[in-house]
Structure 1
Amino acid sequence: MKPVVSAMQAWSCTVISFFAIIILTVLAALYRSGHEELVGGVDDPADGKAVSGTVFTAVFVYIGFFVFCGLQGMLHVRESRRGAISL
């Protein structure tokens, strides 16, 4: 199987997705718990659990990116071990 994206793009996407998963999971947990800074104001959303569900959906999308880009990066590593010439 050949990689679809370049090695730099694959590893960049993997790192960005990893940090996005961490940050969005923390935000979703704070919304779900009803943290005062996020749902306590007048202009803030009233239903923190609904917001949390939406943010967790974004986490699952980033998990998909993380898996796909990580596999692409591993394909590049496997290809370079075989002595393939990259252009």
Structure 2
Amino acid sequence: MKPLVGAMQAWSCTVISAFAILILSVLGLLFRNNHPELVGGDEDPSNGPEVAATIFIAVFIYAGFLVFCGLQGLLHVRENRRGAIAL
């Protein structure tokens, strides 16, 4: 099977997706627990769990990017081991 994207793009997407998952997961947990710095204080009505649900949807999308781009990168590694000529 041939890779669909270049090696640099695949590995860059993998690294960016990993950092996005980490950062967005922390933000989602803080919103889910109605952290006062993010939802405007203790006395305001907060919609932190709704925001957290949206953030976790983005985490799942980035997880899909991580899997796809990681597999593309591994295809490039496998192709280079077989002696393919990169143009």
Shorter-normalised TM-score: what interval?
Answer: over 0.9
Q: Give the C-alpha shift of residue 45 in structure 1.
A: 7.8
Q: Does 1:60 align with 2:49?
A: no
Secondary structure of residue in 2 paired with 1:4: coil
Question: CA–CA distance in 2 between the matches of 1:29 and 1:22?
Answer: 11
Question: If the length of structure 1 is used for normalisation, what is the TM-score?
Answer: 0.94
- Output the aligned Cα RMSD: 1.4
Unaligned regions of 5+ residues in structure 1, if any? none
| Aligned equivalent of 2:36 | 36
Amino acid at match of 1:50: E
Alpha-carbon distance, 1:17 to partner:
0.1
4+ aligned runs moved over 6 Å, structure 1: none
* Percent of aligned positions that are identical: 71
In structure 2, runs of 5+ residues without a counterpart are: none
- Distance in structure 2 (CA, Å) of the matches to 1:6 and 1:40: 44
Q: Report the count of equivalent residues.
A: 85
- Equivalent residue number for residue 50 of structure 2: 50
TM-score (norm 2): 0.94
